């Protein structure tokens, strides 16, 4: 579950530092950044998009554009990783990652809830 995985990834891995390096070197070493995107990010987004598409087709979730929805799902992870590595030492800028991703899951659950059938009770 993203609420448990994302805070640990941000706190305990080098992924946030890698993200900062990739952003910083995007214009200097575009081939390296492009290779990382293809090898890691494109595969992650494709897998998540496929999962969302299957859930939408089965009527289990509302994700009419699974490709964009996948980006919305992971966007807080990316931003939080960059925030942590850039501002994490400043106590006034710290973010409660557990609370943030708990809220993210709550909002995703509401946003992805399938629409009620026509004529359904409210």
Cα–Cα dist 19/93, whole Å: 19
pLDDT of residue 2: 87
What are the boundaries of each domain within the chain?
2-112
Residues 14-64 pLDDT 10s: 999 999 999 999 999 999 999 999 999 999 999 999 999 999 999 999 999
Q: List, as one string, the DSSP characters of 27-80.
A: TTSHHHHHHHIIIIIHHHHHHHHHHHHHHHHTTSS--SSHHHHHHHHHHHHHHH
pTM above 0.75, yes or no: yes
């Amino acid at each position: 579950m993203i609420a448990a995985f994302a805070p640990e990834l941000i706190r305990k891995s080098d992924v946030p530092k890698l993200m900062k390096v990739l952003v910083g070197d995007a214009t200097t070493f575009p081939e390296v950044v492009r290779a990382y995107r293809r090898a890691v990010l494109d595969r992650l987004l494709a897998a998540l998009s496929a999962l969302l598409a299957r859930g939408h087709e089965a009527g289990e979730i509302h994700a009419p554009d699974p490709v964009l929805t996948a980006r919305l799902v992971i966007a807080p992870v990316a931003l939080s990783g960059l925030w942590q590595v850039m501002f994490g030492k400043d106590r006034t800028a710290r973010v409660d990652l557990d609370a943030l991703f708990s809220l993210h899951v709550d909002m995703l659950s509401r946003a992805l809830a399938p629409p009620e059938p026509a004529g359904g009770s409210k």
